[in-house]
């Protein structure tokens, strides 16, 4: 049986998918797309990911078609794999939409805000106090929302799901986001619980064999932050 192909780099949005694939125990081919070197702009990659962003997935054997399927956007990939395997996302009803609302909370809130936080705090050539405090404060607000949600639950919606797998890699960079997990005790214990999962350990161990630094190189900065239409 042909394997799934994951086009990936060692960043939070990439880790979401390796965590899920490791949790599912599904074999896959990992294709590194080094975004610091501009691999995201090759015609082959753009054919499956027109937004020139990782991750992207190709499934040569979808459940419901003879044609291979390619998909980009990490949230869509998580949802696709969960539906393909019937795991980590309830199939219907209120429980499904509970997971999906927290998945989209991560996709539209935590991810973009923490991403801008990283950008203005770590990478911007000019330190703009307004931008830094805007994104650090918004990240803190989102951490408070998550901490409250986790007050009476082991995982975001009760059972471990793709909503947890989407948020975890972003929380993992909490120090870069000027956050202290001691201020968020429910996130702290959730974070420790997920960090100890064998699949999560395996996903990050695989990442380290590809690239063991989360730093963006100087050459990478001009590729990543100088993009125009």
Ligand X SMILES: N[C@@H](CCC(=O)N[C@@H](CS)C(=O)NCC(=O)O)C(=O)O
Nearest approach in angstroms of CB 128 to ligand X is 20
Closer residue to ligand X in complex, CB, 93/125 = 125
Whole-angstrom Cα distance, residue 116 to residue 113? 5
Closer residue to ligand X in complex, CB, 107/132 = 107
Nearest approach in angstroms of CB 53 to ligand X is 4
For residue 64, the tally of other CB atoms under 10 A from its CB is: 7
Closer residue to ligand X in complex, CB, 146/223 = 223
**Secondary structure letter of residue 157 according to DSSP:** B
Closest CA to 197 of 162, 156, 160: 160
Please, are residues 66 and 60 in contact by the beta-carbon 8 Å criterion?
no
Whole-angstrom Cα distance, residue 11 to residue 5? 17
Closer residue to ligand X in complex, CB, 148/176 = 176
Chain contacts with ligand X (rule: CB under 6 A): 11-13, 35, 40, 52-55, 73-75, 224
**Secondary structure letter of residue 216 according to DSSP:** P
Nearest approach in angstroms of CB 74 to ligand X is 4
Nearest approach in angstroms of CB 215 to ligand X is 14
């Amino acid at each position: 049986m042909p394997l799934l192909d994951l086009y990936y780099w060692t960043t939070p949005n990439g880790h979401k998918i390796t965590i899920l694939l490791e949790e599912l125990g599904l074999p896959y081919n990992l294709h590194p797309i080094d975004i610091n070197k501009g691999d995201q702009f090759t015609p082959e990659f753009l054919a499956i990911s027109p937004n020139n962003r990782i991750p992207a997935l190709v499934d040569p054997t979808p459940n419901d078609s003879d044609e291979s399927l390619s998909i980009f956007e990490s949230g869509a990939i998580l949802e696709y794999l969960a539906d393909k395997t019937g795991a980590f996302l309830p199939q219907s009803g209120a429980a499904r939409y509970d997971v999906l609302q927290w998945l989209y909370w991560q996709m539209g809130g935590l991810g973009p805000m923490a991403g801008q936080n990283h950008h203005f705090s770590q990478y911007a050539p000019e330190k703009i106090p307004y931008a830094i405090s805007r994104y650090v404060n918004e990240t803190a607000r989102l951490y408070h929302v998550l901490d409250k949600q986790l007050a009476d639950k082991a995982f975001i919606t009760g059972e471990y799901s793709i909503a947890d797998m989407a948020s975890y890699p972003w929380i993992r960079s909490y120090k870069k986001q000027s956050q202290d997990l001691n201020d968020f005790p429910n996130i702290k214990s959730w974070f420790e619980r997920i960090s100890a999962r064998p699949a999560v350990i395996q996903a990050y161990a695989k990442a380290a064999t590809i690239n063991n630094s989360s730093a963006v190189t100087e050459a990478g900065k001009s590729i990543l932050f100088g993009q125009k239409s």
